[in-house]
Every structure is written in C-alpha cells, then in structure tokens.
Amino acid sequence: MSQVLIVAEHDGNNLNPSTSKTVSCAQTLDCESIAIVVFGHSIETVAEQAARLHGVTRVLTCDRSENADPLAAVIAPQAAALAKDYRYVFGPSTTFGKDLMPRIAALLGTGQISDIMEVVDARTFKRPIYAGNAIATVKAPADATIVATVRVASYQAAAEDGTASIETASVDASLPAHTRYVELRSDTGDRPDLQVANVVLSGGRGVGSQENFGMLYELADRIGAGVGASRAAVDAGYVPNDMQVGQTGKIISPDLYIAFGISGAIQHLTGIKDAGTIVAVNKDPDAPIFEIADIGLVGDLFEVIPELGKQLGSG
Ligand SMILES: Cc1cc2nc3c(=O)[nH]c(=O)nc-3n(C[C@H](O)[C@H](O)[C@H](O)COP(=O)(O)OP(=O)(O)OC[C@H]3O[C@@H](n4cnc5c(N)ncnc54)[C@H](O)[C@@H]3O)c2cc1C
C-alpha cells in the first residue's frame, strides 16, 4: 500500500496554491493514490477546488465547528487518526504546514522530513540545508509513516483537470481544549500573500523608515503585488516580521521580485532563488545582489520608486 494523504491549506473559501504544489510533489512518488483532507467548517467550495487537482483520487472532508479556524493543535489529532491508512502524510512548508506537520509526526511517533525539494525514491528525499548552500539527501526509516513538508517553491501548481470523489471522513479523535482561536491579525491588508504572489516588491535597510515603506505599499497596490522586506528592515521596525523574506523568513517564488535597497546577503537570497526574474535597485554598484539579479539598476530608490509610479500613472 502506497498512498499519500495531503492536508489542505485554505482560508475557508479558497484552497491555497501551496496545496496544489504539494500535490505536484506527491505525483513524483510512485504511489497508488493521492487523497486530500480538508479540515474546516462549511468547506464544500474548498473541497470542490481540491477535487479538480490533477492526480488527486479522493477528497476527504472533516467538517465540524471546531475546525472552523485552522488551529494546528486541533487539526493534528484528527490528521494523525486518519494517517493510519496512509504511507505518506504531506503538508506544504508554509507557516500553516510548519505549525501543523511536526505535531502530526509527533502524534504518530515518527520524525518529520522538512522542505522536500525532490523525491529520489519512495523513502529518499532531497532538501536544502545551510540556507540553501548545500542539499542534503535524507532517508526515512523503512515501515514508518513518512510525515513531511514540501518546499512549495520547488514545485509548479498541479493542473486543474481532475474529478476526484468527495467523501465525508469520520474521524475518531479527542480534541484538546488547551488551545483556542482568538483572532487573526494581518498587517498586510488586502495585498497578496507573499508565498503565492506573482509579483513581490521588497524593501531593505536602504528604505530607511516605516514611513518610507509607504512608497512601496502604494506602488504594490497599483500593480497588485505583495510586499516583502529584508531582516534588517524588520529588525529596524520598519515592517512586521511576517513580511521577512529569506532563510528565517519566507521562501518565495514569484514570477517577478524587485528588491529596493537590499544588499543581497546570502540569508536573503535563500528566500528568492526560485523567483522567475530578479530586479535589484541599489545605489552601490558593488552590492552583492547584482551578482544574482537578472536586471540591475544602480540608482537611488527614492528617485526610482516615484519615477516608476509616474510611468504607471501615465500608462
Ligand atoms: C542566522 C541568520 C539568519 C538571517 N535570516 C535572514 C532572512 O531571513 N532574511 C534577510 O533578509 N536577512 C537575514 N539575515 C540577515 C542578513 O545577513 C543581512 O544582515 C540582511 O539581509 C541585510 O539586510 P539589507 O540588505 O536590507 O541591509 P544592508 O545589508 O544594510 O543593505 C542595505 C542596502 O541598501 C542600499 N541602499 C541604501 N540606501 C539606498 C538608496 N537610497 N537607494 C538604493 N539603495 C540604497 C545599500 O547600498 C545597501 O546595499 C540573517 C542573518 C543571520 C545571521
């Protein structure tokens, strides 16, 4: 038996693209079937989206009021109960998956394989280490359920031509009462999530202040882009830390990444190496980011950003 169970990430209405990319990873395993489990409340629309993903054979829904908010402590025991019928349990290596999957692994008494970027064979996987400077090949023990997170930047979204069945899963698991949902706070407004945005504008220490980041937000909102930042900008208090891109922030793979006033430290580059096109704007011609940028502009961001805004305005 070689079956994969994928835990869906969603916001109650839409399936997050990270789930589709996790399916693409699962497809590279020589497995009999791929199931997606959707935990939530009133999740018919999400289940239908999951059923359309290519290669998915079943969608299981765990619809109960306790699942209305995605609490890892509540989902984990249910996922672990379902996992006994599966050889693999996968989730995306996003904030959601990083919170949830280690709990599932612990409940199953196994370790977690993190950040799969390539499947070598049924038990062997490649994953980046040392900020992506080395690739480790890791092997899961025989007979253990393989619980893993998938590095979504390494996979394309699956096609949406599937017709999987949708079934209600009955799960016998006692849920903890020690964790409760309070509220969701997001400082990024309606801007696209960094991990799914097609275009990301990012600012570094060179942007200089929280107020100056306003220029980036304005430009981003005009073109529907997400906004990221370097750790130096986060540490300086210019932006909240959920905007940090890099080794200890988010690993992203937009089609277009534009870095303003970011020097190009290796820990930052780790987060963007899968971006389609990298554009760098920096006033220092020797800034290391120019070594990896597809397009580099030596200039002052305080001149370049308003000029870009003007060009967009006149277009
Ligand atoms: C364990 C560890 C983990 C880390 N994780 C991360 C991480 O996840 N993400 C991350 O980003 N960093 C991370 N770092 C920090 C990293 O090493 C760098 O310190 C950081 O990325 C530097 O940010 P920066 O490029 O904004 O700042 P700086 O290196 O100070 O660069 C600022 C740049 O702005 C340019 N500039 C200044 N003014 C202007 C202007 N007016 N116009 C144009 N350009 C201008 C300068 O020429 C300079 O190149 C980590 C470090 C460690 C040790």
SS3 readout for 238-305 = CCCHHHEECCCCECCCCCEEEEECCCCCHHHHCCCCCCCEEEEEECCCCCCHHHHCCEEEECCHHHHH
DSSP label at residue 170:
P
Candidates 133, 247, 281, 308: which one to mutate for ligand 1, based on the most atoms within 8 Å of Cβ?
247
Q: Ligand 1 in contact with 263 (CB < 6 A)?
A: yes
Q: 171 near 84, Cβ under 8 Å?
A: no
What is the longest distance spanned by two Cα atoms in the chain? 63
165: left (phi over 0), alpha (psi -120 to 50) or beta: beta
Confidence (pLDDT) at 187? 64
Q: Ligand 1 in contact with 23 (CB < 6 A)?
A: no
Residue 247 alpha carbon, nearest atom of ligand 1: 8
Confidence (pLDDT) at 131? 78
Confidence (pLDDT) at 1? 46
Residue nearest to atom 11 of ligand 1 (CA): 230
In terms of Cα–Cα distance, which of 49, 54, 4, 52 is closest to 24? 54
Residue 255 CA to ligand 1 center (angstroms) comes to 22
Residue 229 CA to ligand 1 center (angstroms) comes to 9
Give the CA count within 13 Å in the CB-facing half-sphere of 292. 20
Residue nearest to atom 26 of ligand 1 (CA): 204
Residue 264 CA to ligand 1 center (angstroms) comes to 6
264-292, pLDDT tens digit by residue?
Answer: 999 999 999 889 999 999 999 999 999 99
Residue 180 CA to ligand 1 center (angstroms) comes to 37
Residue nearest to atom 48 of ligand 1 (CA): 263
Residue 287 alpha carbon, nearest atom of ligand 1: 49
Positions in the chain short of pLDDT 50: 1, 315
Confidence (pLDDT) at 190? 78
Q: Ligand 1 in contact with 297 (CB < 6 A)?
A: no
Confidence (pLDDT) at 106? 97
Residue 248 alpha carbon, nearest atom of ligand 1: 8
Q: Ligand 1 in contact with 10 (CB < 6 A)?
A: no
214: helix, strand or coil: helix
Q: Ligand 1 in contact with 283 (CB < 6 A)?
A: yes
Three-state secondary structure along 32-90? CEEEEEEEECCCHHHHHHHHCCCCCCEEEEEECHHHCCCCHHHHHHHHHHHHCCCCEEE
Residue 205 CA to ligand 1 center (angstroms) comes to 6
Q: Ligand 1 in contact with 261 (CB < 6 A)?
A: yes
The backbone torsions φ and ψ at residue 301, rounded to the nearest 5 degrees and listed phi first, read -60, -25
286 vs 41: CA distance, rounded Å: 53
Q: Ligand 1 in contact with 236 (CB < 6 A)?
A: no
The backbone torsions φ and ψ at residue 239, rounded to the nearest 5 degrees and listed phi first, read -145, 160
Residue 284 CA to ligand 1 center (angstroms) comes to 13
